[in-house]
Structure formats: structure tokens, C-alpha cells
Amino acid sequence: MKKGLLESVFWAMSNVLVIAYAAIPMLWILSLSLKRGSDLNDQYFFPQTISLEHYRNVFSDTQFSSAILNSIGIASIATLFSVFLGMFAAYAIVRLEFPGRRLMLAGILTTAMFPPIAIIGPLFDMWRITGLYDTWLGLILPYMTFTLPLAIWILAAFFREIPWDLDKAARIDGATTLQSFIRVMVPLAAPGVFTAAILVFIFAWNDFLFAISLTSTDNARTVPAAIAFFTGSSRFELPIGSIAAASVVVTVPVMIVVLIFQQRIVAGLTSGAIKG
Amino acid sequence: MVGIRLVSTLCIISLIMLAGCNDQKKEKEVTPTLSWYVFNEPSGAFAIAARNCSENSQNTYQIKLVPLPADPDRQREQLVRRLAAGDQSIDIIGMDVIWTAEFAQAGWILPWRSETMEEAKANRLAAPLQSVMYQDEMWGVPYTTNAQLLWYRTDRIREAPTTWQKMIRLAETLGKSGTIQAQGERYEGLTVFFISLLATAGGSVLDTRNEKIALAQEPTIHALSTMAHFANSPVADRTLSTAREDQARLAFETGNSSFMINYTFVWSSIQQNAPEIAPHIGWARWPSLSKDKPGRTAIGGINLAVSAHSRHARLAFEAAACIASERHQRIAATLGGLPPTIAALYDDAEIREALPFADVLRATLRDAVQRPQTPLYNDVSLAISRTLHPMRDIEPDKDYIRLRDAISRALSSKGLL
Amino acid sequence: MLRGNERRKQRRDEQYQAWLLCAPAVLVLILVTAYPILYAIWLSFFRYDLRFPDQRIFVGLDNYLSILTSEVWWQAMSNTLILTISSVALELILAFPLALIMYHTIFWRHAVRAATLLPYVITTVVAAFAWKFAFDPTTGFINALLGMEQAWLTQRWSSFLVIILTEIWKTTPFMALMLLAGLTLVPNELIQAARVDGANAWQRFIKITVPMMKPAILVAVLFRTLDAFRIFDTVFVLTSGAQDTETVSMIGYNTLIVSLNLGLGSAVSVLIFISIVVISVLFVKGFNITLSKRESGDQK
């Protein structure tokens, strides 16, 4: 199948368009973050003079640095747990016949569609009574739960691709289901686990609704919530520069992960088909 | 079983994590730290007060300032959620005058009694003192107060208009530069605007016991038609429906407006940002609706309350009283331009230099109206601002009924807002 | 006989192990979703306001009645529907060319895919702030670019425009990826055969590609619709619900978390939950999508 030059040029042009589409808002927030405070209102797309003052402000703000720590800690632990539990469940769903399997699948699907706002009130009430309000665990639990369907789904898709025979062979050798699971399946499933982990992490990293509803201090407030509640220098001013700098800081890690692992993410998303 | 072992490992990990979280909280405290949650005050007056009081306490307590978001609605949102969750880290609350009833009713703050109450009451102006009262108890110490004045350009107008009708007519004769700045965005400021006009017209939102809806027809219609008339006149700013205090100030500082309804913070701002118009700024009381009765406006400001969950309540009372003392009110007034609640300070030379409008402000405060002191004020306020936004679309007769309906819903705690 | 017994025992063992493996996940799901939603349903029959902690009384369907007669609720519902329908429709239209571009890309395949993923994985709050500042009349470049003096977020129609734009920018890539997955399932021979038969590009697309992709399209649209219906972050950052742009999720948040009116707020939550169920059922019945078919198809 040969393509004409014209056609190639056309697709190349459209590639440029696509990249511009994705990059412009990101470049914009980056350039805002690099503008001097007095240049913020100059309406230019690119900064005329580059300055790091907003980054200095953001990092000298204790609220922001603790928010970063919280985000990293909460998202990582939630990812770990979610993928761990998801692995067990996905294995059982793919490999084993048991009554309740359909119910389990239905439950997972329902949770995937679940509107978080529907449980925010009860969770707030439960957390405030049990003391989980404004703690890491108070956010880890909902993140873990809401990402479980995604994790199970992606892992199940990956597990199906793994050759049955190896598992069977292991079992004939006298290994129990769990032993074969640990010895044979886990190494084979590693890429799937990794993909699930990336997507789960991104979900937990980006969440806003739980973060603003179930936290209130530096104890557990994550970055998206911290950005939305930045206190400006005066009572009425929106601290645009700081917001932009903080936005860049939260975006960079995600961006790096995407650039490195984009193939896995695409595979995971299209098998998982759930928005984080 | 491997599975069971894994599950129990997970449980143990989470227990360790929980324990870890608790550990962080238990810092060894030599001197108890009192957290004072209050909006971020840019001049540093609050920080100075916190430092002074900590030093004066001779190590019995240390006050830590915790800044709240800039927007008062967000401040409340943050505080309320935390108080409802029984957060023990809050000791002193910089409480907007409109939160008293809500916080007191919910049992989130402690009443001031006996000697602390007497000290907190001493020499305070009547209106700010009224704002800390709920069900015959005192729930805070008045710290700074606030009220709107009419700001105008003395180089364009010889004498400040006394009524809304006169002001609008006068503004119209000035043409393009006659614009009147006010707050018309759908938020607390619009509620203040309405409640002020209603009080000026002789009405009130709730009855004297703050329980049932009052909203007498004649004054309400009068207030609503004044709002509609103003918003639809050429002298209202084009962006009235999105203007808050700060947008109004910014617009006034450009010099293209001749009148502005706003709080006293604009005074120091104009000196700084617009020195060329600063010498031509005059001030007067909130415009009235009739010749014989003065204009009335809603009182603002913050009081200091002590959280019911505080682990050092006794010290918190002491610290709050210290922050709200005469010395620190003076600092707040001279440094931050925040009007004091101690009556005598209005005759003080230093204060009168910082707040040259002191006499007009004192007179305004004497006639000031309290926003409804009900635990459901937040809902009532939302009902008002939602029903009356945008101001230009107000139809007095129709909206009178809608307003009554919305406020009744809010009062029965089922206003879905 | 003996073998049968053994097999049965093995099966019982397998079941036991399967349950054991699923137990932690199920436990968490019950604790953090099933129990809270039941609790929400329970609370929705009470007057339960944390500002009046001692006055918790049973009110039956009063909360629902109060919501369903409120103009605020219906306004929010129609706002949500407007946002959902327009953003999903526009996304679908834009996602097709995007998917085709990704499909046909020869150069920079990785760069293009990574670029399309970016908007999708970026924190919604950050994306919303980026657009908010871009449209801001004093800070933004959009007015300068268009030569306009429009205060975008101060009017209803233009606020909607900005919200929808932000949503589209953020989630079109997701839609495109889903379509791309469907696109790769279309056999190339069919397209070639049609080409030989003289069908032009548009005809080939409409007659062959789209019908073959139908399942992928429907799943993508269903997921996005459910997702768009619970829109919260974007609106919270862009307008906070001002200019009549409030969505049902914002109503829920305001009632529950801002007003602490848990009874009434729970009723809102339950209504949102019901709406989601209704939308799903409509989709599944109306378009005959069987989500679990993909499951069972794969299991063999």
C-alpha cells in the first residue's frame, strides 16, 4: 500500500495540529508561571522576561510542600492497595469458576459508573465519627475503592492473554492455586500490573472532589485541593502566578510518566475503558 | 494460607499507618500552641497581635496564625466542615459577624461568661456587640468592625447626595463619568445590598426574634424597585452583575466613576494605587430612601470565638481577649485600616488620621442593621442573592413573592440551595 | 465414583479459593460504596443537619418533595444535561478525525499518541485553571488573539462555552483512543475491496468503518456520558456555579459539604444516583450494548 506525497503531507500536517492542540494550554500555564508578577496582565502568550519568583513563592509555602507530600503518599499507597486487591480478584474472575462470579462482575461495573458525589455525604459523616476525616487513610480508602474496578478490569484483560498451560503445568506439579498464582502468574502479569498501577496512580493524583470534601488541613490535603484553595496575598486577589507554578509542578510528573509509558497507558485505557 | 497472610499483612500495614498518623499529631508541646484561624491579612496586623500576645503570656501559650482563603464564603466552608468533624486543632476563630448564630447553635463555639465576658464587653460599640449575641449569650469578642459608606468625587460633586433617587439623578447629569459602583454579583455582597436597602426602607427580613419571616410588603417592594431602577439606569456599571467589592474598587480607581458603595478598605487602597484621585475623595453615609430617615447599612467585621473542641479553651479565651484588646485594635486600624470596635478609639488622634472618615463611620454604625441572626443565615443569604440576581431583571411584584417563598424554604431548612 | 468425588472436592476447593481471593476487594467495595449508598438512602428520609445536631427526625419523602419542587434543582438538571449532551456530541465529532490521524500516522507515532494522552491525564483542576486564565479578560491571551473585549465567565452563554471547551479539550483524546481501538478492528481488506469497487473515502468511512466500529463508539459514548453527567471540578474552578452554570453534582456538594445538610443532601445524592442508573439503562436497552458480552466473549 503506497501513499502519495500529498497524503503524507496531509497526515504530517494533521499531526502537528494534534500536538499543538494538546500542548497549547500546557504551554500557556507554563509561560504564565514563568512571567514576572508585574507582567501577568500583559496578555502575551510567552513571557517577555523569565522569572522564577512564583516557583520560589510556591515552594516557600508550607501548605504547598505538605500538599505535595500528601499527594505522593496517598496516591502511592492507594495504588499499591488497589492493584494488590485487584490482582487477587482479577485472577479469580479469569481463572476460576465460582458462584457469585457474575455478581462480582456486575458489582465492579456498577462501581465504575458510580457517581462519587453520591457517597460523599455519608463518607463525610462516617469519617467524622470514626476520626478518619482529614487523614491519609480517609482518602486512601475511597481512592482504592474507586480505582478497584479499573484495576480489576485492566488486570483481567492482561491475565486472559497469559498462557493457560503454564498455570496448569504448575498445578499438575503439585502447586496449589495460590502457589501457582504467585510463582507463575505474577511474573507474567507484571506488565499488566504496572499498567494498572500507572492508571490508578493518575486517578488518585488527579482527584478533586474527595480531596476537598474529606480533608481540611495540611494533614491530608492533596495538591489539586491546595491549588484551588490557595490564599492570595490580599483578601480579594486570586494568586494567578502561584496557581500556575503549582499547576506546572503537579503536571510534570504525570507528563513524564505519560511520555515514557504511553503505549502501556493506551493499552490499559482501551482494555479498561474507564475514565480515571 | 498465603491469601490470609497477605490480607492480614495489609491490615497490619494500615494499622501501622493509622498509628503513624496519630503520632504526627502528638508533638511534644512545652508551651501549648493556640491556632487562630482567620483570613489572610496582608498588612501583618494580625501577625503582630499574635506575636505580642504570645510574648505577653510569658510562655503560657503561643498563638499560631492559620490563614483561611480570601473569599468569606470559602472561609466559612472550610471552618464549618472542620468544626462539624470535631477538629481539635482549632482554638480561636476569626468569625465573620454573620456566623455567630450558626456556630453557636451547632455547639461549635463556647459562650463567654462571667469575668471574661465583662472584659470583652467593656467599652465596645453597641452594634458589633450585638453581632456576638445569640439567645442571650455572648459568643465572641468584637475585634474589628466594618460598614459601607458612600464614596464620591469631590471634584465633580459639591455635596454628597443623601438619597438614592438624588444620587442617580445627579450621576445622570455627569454623563459618562457619573457611574455608580456597587456590588451586584450573586454572593453575600448582593444580600448586603438588599438588606441595607430594606432596612433603609423600614423593613426587615426576619421578625425581631429572628425566627419567622417578616419582609413587609411595602418596604420590600420599595427596596426591590430601587434596585431595579438603579441597575437599569445608565449610571450603573456595565459589569454590575459580576461586581464584588474589589471589582468596584478597581473600577473606581481608574477615575471613570463618581460614586461607589463600598467598605472602608478602599480608603488606603486608593491612597496607594490612585494617588492622583486620592485628594478628591469624599465620603458620606449610605444613601437613604427618604428625606427624614437616614440610610442604614448592614454591619460587617470579625469577632473572635473559641472553638468548643479546643484543648486549651481557657487559654484561648485569654488569648482572644488579648488580640481584641485596645492596643491591637489600634494596630489593626492604623496598619490594616480595619475599623475598631472600641468606642473610645474613634476619638483618638492617631486613629482619626488613619481613618479620616471615623465620625461618619461611627454614625453609620450607630444606625447599622444586623443581618438576620439565625443559624440558617447562610441559606437565607443564598436565597436572597439567588432570587435577586441579576439586579437588572428584578420585577418588584413578582420577585417579592419569589423572595418570600425562597426565604421561607431556607428557614424550614429545606431550601435546596 | 472416586474420581468424581475428587473432582467435586477440587471444585469446592477452587470455589473457596476464589472467594478468598475476591474477599478483600469485595469487602472494600462494600465498606466504601455499598454501605455509604445505603446509608445515603437511609439519611435521605431524615431531617439531619449537622448545624442542628440534636434535631434528627424522620420526615419520609419530604426531602425528595422539596428537591423536586425546587427551581434550583431543575435548573441544575437542565444545565447538567446541556453540558453533557453538547460536550459528548462535540467530542464524538472531533474524536473521529483524531482517531483517524492517530491511525494513519507514520511519523512521530509516539509523539502524537503521547500528545493526545496529555490532556486526558492532566489534573482536571489544572486544565480548568489553564483555560480560566486564558479566557480572563485581564490576564488571558484569548481576547488579544480574537481582538475582543469579552468578559467570558461573566455571562451564561459564554461561561457554558468555556466549560464545554474545557471538557472537550480534556476528554476528546479518551474518546479518540476508544475509537482507535475500534478502528484497528476494521479489516483492511474490506476497505481495499471497497476502494477497488470505486467507493470514495467518505463512502468507505460511512458504509464500512462506522458500522464496524459501532460497538466501540457506543461504549465510548456511554462511558463519557456517565462521566460528563457528574461534572464537578471544571465548573467548580471556572465559575463555582455562578451565572446559572450550577450542575447537579455542585448542588450535591453545596448541600452536603457546604451547608452540612446531610438529610437533604443525601436525597440529592440518591437522585443523582438514580439519574445515572436511568442513563445506563436507556443506553443498554436503547442501543443494545451488552458490556458483559466483551467479558464472556474473551473467556473462552
* C-alpha span between A39 and A54 (Å, rounded): 12
Dihedral of alpha carbons A204, A206, A211, A216, sign: positive
pLDDT at A275 over 70: no
Residue with cell 495540529: A17
What does the pLDDT average to over A162-189? 72
Q: Which three cell numbers stand for residue C285?
A: 436497552
Q: Assign C197 a pLDDT band (cuts: 50, 70, 90).
A: confident
What does the pLDDT average to over A67-75? 95
Residues 6 or more apart whose CB falls under 8 angstroms from that of A181 comprise: A91
Q: Which three cell numbers stand for residue C198?
A: 470505486
Question: Helices A62-95 and C2-29 meet at what angle, rounded to 10?
Answer: 160
Kindly determine whether residue A232 and residue B74, on different chains, have CB atoms separated by under 8 Å.
no
CB burial class (10 A; 0-12, 13-18, 19+) of residue B244? middle
Q: Tell me which chains share at least 3 CB pairs under 8 Å with chain C.
A: A, B
User: CA-nearest residue of chain B to C153?
Assistant: B242
Kindly determine whether residue C32 and residue A142, on different chains, have CB atoms separated by under 8 Å.
yes
Q: Which residues of chain C make contact with A28, given a CB cutoff of 8 A?
A: 130, 133-134, 141
Q: What pLDDT score was predicted for residue A75?
A: 95
For residue B347, how far is the Cα from the chain centroid?
24
* C-alpha span between B204 and B209 (Å, rounded): 11
Q: What pLDDT score was predicted for residue A238?
A: 64
- When CB atoms are compared, the residue of B107, B186, B239 closest to C53 is B107
Q: Assign B321 a pLDDT band (cuts: 50, 70, 90).
A: very high
Choose among B392, B376, B364, B373: nearest CA to B242: B392
Residue with cell 476460576: A96
Q: Which residues of chain C make contact with A5, given a CB cutoff of 8 A?
A: none
Task: Compute the nearest-CA separation of A272 from chain C (Å).
Answer: 10
Q: Which residues of chain C make contact with B81, given a CB cutoff of 8 A?
A: 257, 260
Which pLDDT tens digit goes with each residue over B342-381? 999 999 999 999 999 999 999 999 999 999 999 999 999 9
pLDDT at C123 over 80: yes
Buried b (16+ CB within 10 A) or exposed e, C107-145: eeeeebbbbbbbbbbbbbbbbbbbbbbbbbbebbbbbee
Q: What pLDDT score was predicted for residue B417?
A: 58
- When CB atoms are compared, the residue of A93, A209, A251 closest to C233 is A209
Kindly determine whether residue C40 and residue A121, on different chains, have CB atoms separated by under 8 Å.
yes
Query: Is the CB of residue B248 less than 8 Å from the CB of residue B182?
Result: yes
Task: Compute the nearest-CA separation of A53 from chain C (Å).
Answer: 17
Kindly determine whether residue A250 and residue C123, on different chains, have CB atoms separated by under 8 Å.
yes
CB contact, 8 Å: B87 with chain C? no
Strand partners, B285: none
Kindly determine whether residue A178 and residue B74, on different chains, have CB atoms separated by under 8 Å.
no
For residue B359, how far is the Cα from the chain centroid?
21
Kindly determine whether residue A97 and residue C11, on different chains, have CB atoms separated by under 8 Å.
yes
If contacts are CB pairs under 8 Å, which of residues 98-157 in chain C contact chain B? 151, 154
CB contact, 8 Å: A4 with chain C? no
Query: Is the CB of residue C59 less than 8 Å from the CB of residue A186?
Result: no
Distance in Å from the first CA to the final CA of chain B: 53
Residues 6 or more apart whose CB falls under 8 angstroms from that of A243 comprise: A227, A230, C129, C133
Mean pLDDT of chain A: 84
- The 3-state secondary structure of chain B, one letter per residue: CHHHHHHHHHHHHHHHHHHHHHHHHCCCCCCCEEEEEEECCCCCHHHHHHHHHHHHCCCCCEEEEEEECCCHHHHHHHHHHHHHCCCCCCCEEEEEHHHHHHHHHCCCECCECHHHHHHHHCCECHHHHHCCEECCEECCEEEEEECCEEEEECCCCCCCCCEHHHHHHHHHHCHHHHEEECCCCCCHHHHHHHHHHHHHCCCCCECCCCCCECCCHHHHHHHHHHHHHHHHCCCECCCHHHCCHHHHHHHHHCCCEEEEEECCHHHHHHHHHCCCCHHHEEEECCCECCCCCCCCCECEEEEEEEECCCCCHHHHHHHHHHHCCHHHHHHHHHHHCCCECEHHHHHCHHHHHHCCCHHHHHHHHHCCECCCCCCCHHHHHHHHHHHCCCHHHCCHHHHHHHHHHHHHHHHCCCCCC
User: How far is CA C180 from each of CA B69, B189, C98, C211, rounded to the nearest angstrom?
Assistant: 44, 50, 9, 14
* Count of alpha carbons within 13 angstroms of residue A138, beta-carbon side: 30
Choose among A11, B105, B330: nearest CA to C103: A11
Kindly determine whether residue A233 and residue B87, on different chains, have CB atoms separated by under 8 Å.
no
Mean pLDDT of chain B: 89
- When CB atoms are compared, the residue of A124, A216, A230 closest to B87 is A216
Kindly determine whether residue B246 and residue A236, on different chains, have CB atoms separated by under 8 Å.
yes
CB contact, 8 Å: A93 with chain C? yes
* C-alpha span between A109 and A106 (Å, rounded): 5
- The 3-state secondary structure of C15-33, one letter per residue: HHHHHHHHHHHHHHHHHHH
CB contact, 8 Å: A41 with chain B? no
CB contact, 8 Å: A238 with chain C? no
Task: Compute the nearest-CA separation of C23 from chain B (Å).
Answer: 9
Q: Which residues of chain C make contact with B414, given a CB cutoff of 8 A?
A: 47, 62-63, 66, 264
* C-alpha span between C191 and A246 (Å, rounded): 48
Q: What pLDDT score was predicted for residue A2?
A: 52
Q: Assign B162 a pLDDT band (cuts: 50, 70, 90).
A: very high
Q: What pLDDT score was predicted for residue C297?
A: 35
Q: What pLDDT score was predicted for residue C101?
A: 86
Q: Which residue type occupies B236?
A: A
* C-alpha span between B292 and B202 (Å, rounded): 12
Q: What pLDDT score was predicted for residue C295?
A: 40
Q: Which residues of chain B make contact with C47, given a CB cutoff of 8 A?
A: 413-414
E runs forming strands in chain C: 46-47, 57-58
Query: Is the CB of residue B121 less than 8 Å from the CB of residue B131?
Result: no
Task: Compute the nearest-CA separation of A71 from chain B (Å).
Answer: 15
How many other C-beta atoms are found inside a 10 Å radius of the C-beta of residue B128? Answer: 30
What does the pLDDT average to over C58-82? 92
If contacts are CB pairs under 8 Å, which of residues 146-185 in chain B contact chain C? 185
Task: Compute the nearest-CA separation of B83 from chain A (Å).
Answer: 10
The single-letter DSSP state of residue C57 is E
Which pLDDT tens digit goes with each residue over A253-264? 888 888 888 888
* C-alpha span between A149 and A161 (Å, rounded): 19
Percentage of residues in chain B with pLDDT exceeding 90? 68
* C-alpha span between B204 and B215 (Å, rounded): 6
B13 vs A78: which has the higher pLDDT: A78
pTM of the model: 0.86
Q: Which of A113, A155, A171, A205 to mutate to test the interface with C (most CBs of C within 10 A)?
A: A113
Q: What pLDDT score was predicted for residue C2?
A: 56
Residue with cell 410588603: B217
Q: Which residues of chain C make contact with A9, given a CB cutoff of 8 A?
A: none
Residues 6 or more apart whose CB falls under 8 angstroms from that of A59 comprise: A65
* C-alpha span between C22 and C29 (Å, rounded): 11
Kindly determine whether residue A237 and residue B70, on different chains, have CB atoms separated by under 8 Å.
yes
Q: Which residues of chain A make contact with C97, given a CB cutoff of 8 A?
A: 14
pLDDT at B123 over 50: yes
Kindly determine whether residue A255 and residue C118, on different chains, have CB atoms separated by under 8 Å.
yes
Q: Which of C21, C74, C258, C270 to mutate to test the interface with B (most CBs of B within 10 A)?
A: C258
Task: Compute the nearest-CA separation of B209 from chain C (Å).
Answer: 18
The single-letter DSSP state of residue A50 is -
Task: Compute the nearest-CA separation of B81 from chain A (Å).
Answer: 8
For A34, phi then psi, to 5°, come to -95, -5
Q: Tell me which chains share at least 3 CB pairs under 8 Å with chain A.
A: B, C
Q: Which residues of chain C make contact with A247, given a CB cutoff of 8 A?
A: 123, 126, 129-130
Q: Assign C289 a pLDDT band (cuts: 50, 70, 90).
A: low
Q: Is ipTM beyond 0.90? A: no
Which pLDDT tens digit goes with each residue over B280-304? 999 999 999 998 899 999 999 999 9
pLDDT at B99 over 50: yes
pLDDT at C293 over 80: no
Mean pLDDT of chain C: 86
- When CB atoms are compared, the residue of C29, C104, C108 closest to A145 is C29
Q: What pLDDT score was predicted for residue B19?
A: 43
Q: Which residues of chain C make contact with B84, given a CB cutoff of 8 A?
A: 50-51, 260
Q: Assign C93 a pLDDT band (cuts: 50, 70, 90).
A: very high
Which pLDDT tens digit goes with each residue over C32-50? 988 999 999 999 999 998 8
**In sequence order, what DSSP letters do the residues of A188-220 get, joined into one string?**
HHHHHHHHHHHHHHHHHHH--HHHHHH--STTT
* C-alpha span between B305 and B186 (Å, rounded): 28
What does the pLDDT average to over C68-74? 90
* Count of alpha carbons within 13 angstroms of residue C79, beta-carbon side: 27
* C-alpha span between A37 and B130 (Å, rounded): 42
pLDDT at C19 over 80: yes
A168 vs B329: which has the higher pLDDT: B329
3-state secondary structure of C58: strand
